């Protein structure tokens, strides 16, 4: 299975299968790494994110299909319509598992169809099918219809009306609400008129060393299961972090202004567990953590049942807007999942609009008559509907805060909270200083997944990177080095590809053992970090092709000034100092450009010509 790539051209309707060179798998593993290699080689400079030349790359990793905890994930990559830069976005559920069963480590989709289609894949049967009858439908309806028509067990990843309308924050949803959420891969799918990809098959995973594989699975699953945080995530979901926000200062509040708010407890994972939670969602394949929620609200204006809001959504539709109505957040989460739109970006855009309205930069007339005041839940829902239906101000807000601020002007750039055009996630660099350089340098813009600090800063050392001490969350020195190491680990994890939540308990060396048993390679933990570093630098080179440089490695000014009140008031990361330490650790020059020596050391000689040409 490992070496097969399915190539589908929607313009010419050509379909072919290629072998993936073994060296690619050794150097880039799979997932995000393999995507970086192919898309760097195949997406030319000057191509438009929503044009024919952009490509969509679905990929899984070497651990897929063999009961490694959380290994049912998949990655999707392309040039992002939100940032214009590199995009990878991963999702859990069962889609990745079925992609492996179908026998493909990667599916590359190129060209554009002139009619709505979906891709049907069942082992070697690959068909481009008509999707006219499901175009315009919500995601759950679409997936139900496709699964019914397919008549085999499998999984579909689909876009909703937001992707069809090319909203740059549109996402791809699979398995009852699991999302490849950030950066607009859904819009790229929409631009190709591709409604969904359905995967199914019966190929079986075979480890290179079955005995070692069984041992590794047993040991590492045990490690994940026994970790204390696994229990907390299982019981309260990711929303547990919202319950701790009063003390940690981690949850952005009132569009990143306040340091504290009495509403955190009302929208926490603990409150969810005691009210609307029905069960841990079983959608994620072989996951012992089970943080995903299935919730139900039986009556009232927000009656719903389905996937429950994650911490990020509790932040973006809760604390960011001073909305303490948990039922409304669950309902809006469901709407976003049905229309296929990223909750972080859409909630953040509404927070931006609230502040613009408060400051008189947007009038009630601009907002289609909506009185968009802080904490006004009904107004939030009304504006969200405008974004989802692409009506009125919703058209502009759906473009993201960077674009919205450019259009509104009047100094609104000051409170448009994004990095490189991507709205920041719900973790505050003033609470965990390591997020400063991590956000500033992430290849896909403001993102906490390319450097999953949550599992490391103040928690776990990284001995494979020579970091043996646990880092104080409010120290400045060392955070550039930490950010680099965490980004390298996270990038390898997204290439392997497993859920980053396992890295509260696992290490790079654990990952190396698993990959070795699965593939027959002989990596160490240090090798895994180097692979992550290689991929990270390649993604940086991809961004350089589209005009990005070290000058874009910044944070919004608001995040570099104090919160008003709260536990971290007065504490602000020194980004300039952190970045210089970071660039040095990376072997980049002081302007953030990878040195030729570093690129050669990483085996990336082939990018030097373009970067230095």
Chain positions contacting ligand SF4, by CB under 6 A: 70, 92, 284, 287, 289-292, 499, 501
Burial grade of 382 (CB within 10 A; 0-12, 13-18, 19 or more): middle
Please report, to the nearest 10 degrees, the dihedral formed by the alpha carbons of residues 529, 531, 534, 536 taken in order.
-70
- In angstroms, the CA 72 to CA 278 distance is 23
CB atoms within 10 A of CB 567: 16
Candidates 176, 98, 117; CA nearest to 141 is 176
- In angstroms, the CA 460 to CA 454 distance is 9
- Part in contact with other proteins (CB under 8 A); list of ranges 20-28, 35-43, 242-250, 583-591: 242-250
If one asks whether residue 238 binds other proteins (CB under 8 A), the answer comes out as: yes
Q: Which is nearer to ligand SF4, 101 or 280 (CB)?
A: 280
Strands 106-110 and 4-9: what pairing?
parallel
Shortest separation between residue 70's beta carbon and ligand SF4, angstroms:
4
- In angstroms, the CA 495 to CA 483 distance is 18
Residue 284 binds what, of other proteins, ligand SF4, none (CB under 5 to 8 Å, by partner type)? ligand SF4
Residue 499 binds what, of ligand SF4, other proteins, none (CB under 5 to 8 Å, by partner type)? ligand SF4
Residue 426 binds what, of other proteins, ligand SF4, none (CB under 5 to 8 Å, by partner type)? other proteins
Contact yes or no for 512/525 (Cβ under 8 A): yes
Q: Which is nearer to ligand SF4, 78 or 499 (CB)?
A: 499
In the list 142, 232, 333, 343, the residue contacting other proteins (rule: CB under 8 A) is: 232
Instruction: Dump the DSSP string for 154-195.
Output: -EEEE--HHHHTT-TTB-EEETTTEEE-SSSHHHHHHHTTEE
If one asks whether residue 432 binds other proteins (CB under 8 A), the answer comes out as: yes
Strands 15-19 and 4-9: what pairing?
antiparallel
Contact yes or no for 12/111 (Cβ under 8 A): yes
Shortest separation between residue 79's beta carbon and other proteins, angstroms:
27
In the list 208, 212, 225, 270, the residue contacting other proteins (rule: CB under 8 A) is: 270
In the list 183, 239, 263, 550, the residue contacting other proteins (rule: CB under 8 A) is: 239
Residue 110 phi/psi, 5° resolution?
Answer: -125, 170
Q: Which is nearer to ligand SF4, 6 or 289 (CB)?
A: 289
Shortest separation between residue 289's beta carbon and other proteins, angstroms:
11
Burial grade of 235 (CB within 10 A; 0-12, 13-18, 19 or more): middle
Q: Which is nearer to other proteins, 303 or 470 (CB)?
A: 470
- Part in contact with other proteins (CB under 8 A); list of ranges 9-17, 34-42, 205-213, 456-464: 456-464
- In angstroms, the CA 515 to CA 501 distance is 18
Q: For 202-358, where are the E strands, in sequence order?
A: 277-280, 293-297, 304-307
If one asks whether residue 457 binds other proteins (CB under 8 A), the answer comes out as: yes
Q: Which is nearer to other proteins, 81 or 566 (CB)?
A: 566
Site for other proteins in 465-504 (CB under 8 A): 470, 472-473, 501, 504
Q: Which is nearer to ligand SF4, 123 or 290 (CB)?
A: 290
If one asks whether residue 266 binds other proteins (CB under 8 A), the answer comes out as: no
Residues 6+ apart with CB under 8 A from 365: none
Shortest separation between residue 300's beta carbon and ligand SF4, angstroms:
28
Q: Which is nearer to ligand SF4, 251 or 499 (CB)?
A: 499
If one asks whether residue 459 binds other proteins (CB under 8 A), the answer comes out as: yes
* Tokens 């104080």, located at residue: 472
Shortest separation between residue 73's beta carbon and ligand SF4, angstroms:
7
Q: In the numeric block, which tokens belong to residue 115?
A: 């009619």
Shortest separation between residue 287's beta carbon and ligand SF4, angstroms:
3
Q: How far is CA 129 from the centre of its chain?
A: 28
Residue 289 binds what, of other proteins, ligand SF4, none (CB under 5 to 8 Å, by partner type)? ligand SF4
Residue 120 phi/psi, 5° resolution?
Answer: -110, 120
For binding to other proteins (CB under 8 A), which residues are involved? 228-236, 238-241, 243-244, 246-250, 259-260, 270, 310-312, 426-427, 431-432, 435, 448, 453-455, 457-459, 470, 472-473, 501, 504, 565-567
């Amino acid at each position: 299975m490992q070496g097969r790539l399915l190539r589908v051209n929607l313009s010419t309707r050509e379909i072919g299968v290629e072998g993936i060179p073994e060296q690619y798998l050794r150097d880039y593993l799979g997932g995000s790494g393999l995507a970086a290699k192919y898309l760097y080689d195949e997406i030319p400079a000057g191509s438009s994110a929503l044009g024919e030349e952009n490509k969509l790359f679905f990929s899984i990793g070497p651990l897929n299909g063999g009961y490694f905890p959380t290994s049912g994930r998949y990655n999707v990559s392309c040039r992002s319509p939100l940032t214009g830069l590199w995009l990878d976005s991963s999702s859990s559920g069962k889609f990745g598992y079925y992609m492996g069963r179908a026998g493909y480590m990667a599916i590359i989709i190129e060209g554009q169809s002139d009619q709505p289609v979906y891709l049907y894949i069942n082992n070697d049967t690959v068909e481009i099918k008509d999707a006219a009858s499901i175009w315009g439908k919500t995601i759950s309806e679409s997936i139900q219809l496709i699964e019914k028509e397919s008549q085999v067990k499998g999984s579909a990843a689909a876009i909703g009306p937001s992707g069809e309308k090319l909203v740059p924050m549109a996402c791809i949803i699979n398995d009852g609400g699991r999302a490849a959420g950030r950066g607009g891969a859904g819009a790229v799918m929409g631009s190709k008129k591709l409604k969904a990809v359905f995967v199914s098959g019966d190929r079986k995973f075979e480890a290179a060393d079955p005995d070692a594989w069984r041992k590794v699975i047993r040991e590492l699953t045990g490690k994940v299961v026994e970790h204390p945080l696994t229990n907390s995530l299982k019981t309260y979901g990711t929303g547990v972090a919202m319950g701790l926000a009063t003390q940690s200062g981690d949850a952005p509040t009132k569009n990143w202004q306040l340091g504290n708010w009495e509403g955190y407890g009302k929208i926490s994972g603990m409150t969810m567990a005691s009210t609307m939670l029905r069960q841990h969602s079983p959608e994620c394949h072989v996951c012992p953590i089970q943080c995903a929620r299935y919730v139900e609200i039986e009556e009232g204006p927000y009656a719903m049942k389905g996937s429950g809001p994650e911490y990020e959504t509790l932040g973006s539709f809760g604390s960011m807007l001073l909305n303490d109505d948990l039922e409304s957040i669950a309902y809006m989460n469901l709407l976003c999942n049905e229309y296929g739109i990223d909750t972080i970006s859409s909630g953040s855009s509404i927070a931006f609009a609230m502040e613009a309205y408060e400051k008189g930069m947007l009038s009630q007339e601009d907002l289609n008559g909506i009185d968009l005041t802080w904490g006004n839940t009904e107004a939030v829902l009304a504006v969200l509907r405008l974004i989802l239906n692409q009506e009125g101000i919703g058209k502009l807000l759906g473009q993201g805060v960077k674009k919205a601020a450019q259009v509104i002007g009047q100094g609104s750039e000051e409170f448009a909270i994004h990095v490189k055009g991507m709205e920041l996630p719900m973790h505050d660099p003033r609470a965990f200083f390591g997020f400063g350089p991590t956000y500033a340098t992430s290849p896909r813009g403001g993102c906490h997944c390319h450097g999953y600090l949550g599992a490391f800063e103040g928690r776990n050392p990284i001995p494979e990177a020579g970091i043996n001490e646990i880092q104080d969350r409010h120290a400045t020195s060392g955070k550039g080095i930490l950010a680099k190491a965490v980004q390298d680990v996270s990038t390898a994890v997204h290439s392997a590809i497993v859920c980053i939540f396992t890295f509260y308990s696992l290490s790079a060396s654990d990952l190396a053992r698993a990959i070795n048993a699965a593939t027959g390679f002989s990596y160490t933990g240090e090798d895994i970090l180097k692979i992550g570093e290689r991929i990270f630098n390649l993604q940086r080179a991809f961004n350089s092709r589209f005009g990005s440089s070290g000058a874009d490695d910044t944070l919004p000014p608001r995040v570099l000034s104090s919160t008003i009140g709260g536990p971290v008031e007065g504490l602000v990361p020194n980004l300039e100092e952190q970045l210089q330490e970071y660039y040095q650790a990376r072997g980049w020059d002081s302007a953030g450009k990878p040195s030729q020596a570093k690129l050669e050391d990483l085996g990336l000689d082939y990018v030097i010509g373009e970067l230095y040409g």
